[in-house]
Amino acid sequence: MFNNLFSKRKNNTSGWFGNYSSWATVNAVAVGYDADIILNITKEAILKVKNGEAVYERDSVIFEEKHCPYALLAYLQLSAALKKTAIHVMDFGGSLGSTYYQIREYLTKEVCASWNVIEQAHYVTCGKEFFEDEVLKFYPTIEECRAAKKISLVILSSVIQYLEKPHEFLKQLVNHGFDFLIFDRTAFNNKADDRLTLQVVPANIYPASYPSWFFNQEFFLSHFSQHYKIVAEFPSYVEGEQIMKIDNKPAGSDKGFYLINKSFHA
């Protein structure tokens, strides 16, 4: 199956490809994110960070030097300051706590009351067994997390573009009425419409591919116009994501936004 997938990409090229008409069409040629091989690779990488054997992990890859998402960190700390108390954070699609371990030295008791990851069931099981501590927790749904914690801020980093029905999710997210939202590393298209692509992961990381959206920014943000104020826009902190390519041609960028609920009063 892996051989069939990569034989369709010249020289096993990684990146984003195509302009698919439906999720089912691209999913038919994709090797999905729920594969056990990806979970195991990610677990081993983050365990090294947790145990002090590595400095930094991102997307299951170990780095020798830490790259800090300063914009995300700044708006997290601003949210706590506006709230005037440590806040409960929800990290939607947060893997096994990648961002938590990336910035945990900044998550003082004055800033972060808890860090709660929402993930697929097998990630939650792994997270509870190997990574949970007094601050970091794992839940399978937003609803279960909200039942346990009074969430003020939601972080959505490099996750919305991997949902089958992202706009339905964004509408539901608005309905939850969280005080603060941080989108980071979210893919936007330079065209007037959303574009659905096949993302092929570099073979030296793991043999996988999956559907990946590039959004029309205006339509994406329109979901929030009634209930949220868009306070800031910022580029991805990851080198190379400021210009994203589809079919090896510049086609968009990864960026982030910080939003505050209009009903929030400091």
For 139-164, how does the pLDDT look when each residue is reduced to its tens digit (9 = 90+)?
A: 999 999 999 999 999 999 999 999 99
Question: Is 219 inside any structural domain?
Answer: yes
Residue 179 pLDDT grade (very low, low, confident, very high; cuts 50, 70, 90): very high
User: Which residue would you say has higher pLDDT here, 41 or 215?
Assistant: 215
Strands 87-92 and 151-157: parallel
CA 184 to chain centre: 7
**For position 75, which CATH number holds?**
3.40.50.150
Q: Compute the average pLDDT of residues 236-264.
A: 95
Does 201 fall in a domain? Answer: yes
- Band of the pLDDT at 33, cuts 50, 70, 90? low
9 confidence band (pLDDT: 50, 70, 90): very low
Residue 2 within a domain: no
CA–CA separation, 122 and 211 (whole Å)? 20
pLDDT at residue 6, rounded to an integer: 37
Amino acid 110 reads E
C-beta of residue 197 within 8 angstroms of C-beta of residue 15: no
Q: What is the DSSP letter of 241?
A: T
Q: Are 34 and 122 in contact (CB under 8 A)?
A: yes
Amino acid at 47: L
pLDDT band at 37 (very low <50, low <70, confident <90, very high): confident
Q: Does some domain include residue 8?
A: no
Of 254, 144, 113, 109, give the one whose Cα is nearest residue 190.
254
Is residue 111 situated within a structural domain?
A: yes
pTM over 0.85: yes
Residue pair 193/216 in contact (Cβ under 8 Å)? The answer is: yes
Segment 49-104, tens digit of pLDDT: 888 888 878 777 787 777 889 999 999 999 999 999 999 999 999 999 999 999 99
Q: 165 is in which domain, residue-wise?
A: 15-261
Number of domains within the chain: 1
Distance CA 89, CA 45 (A): 23
Q: What is the pLDDT of residue 34?
A: 58
260 vs 44, 174, 227, CA distance in Å? 36, 11, 9
Q: Is residue 3 part of a domain?
A: no
Reading the block at residue 8, the tokens are 């369709």
In a domain, 9, yes or no: no
List all residues 6 or more positions away from 66 whose beta carbon is below 8 Å from its beta carbon.
55, 56, 102
Residue 5 lies in a domain: no
- The conformation of residue 14, written as its DSSP 8-state character, comes to -
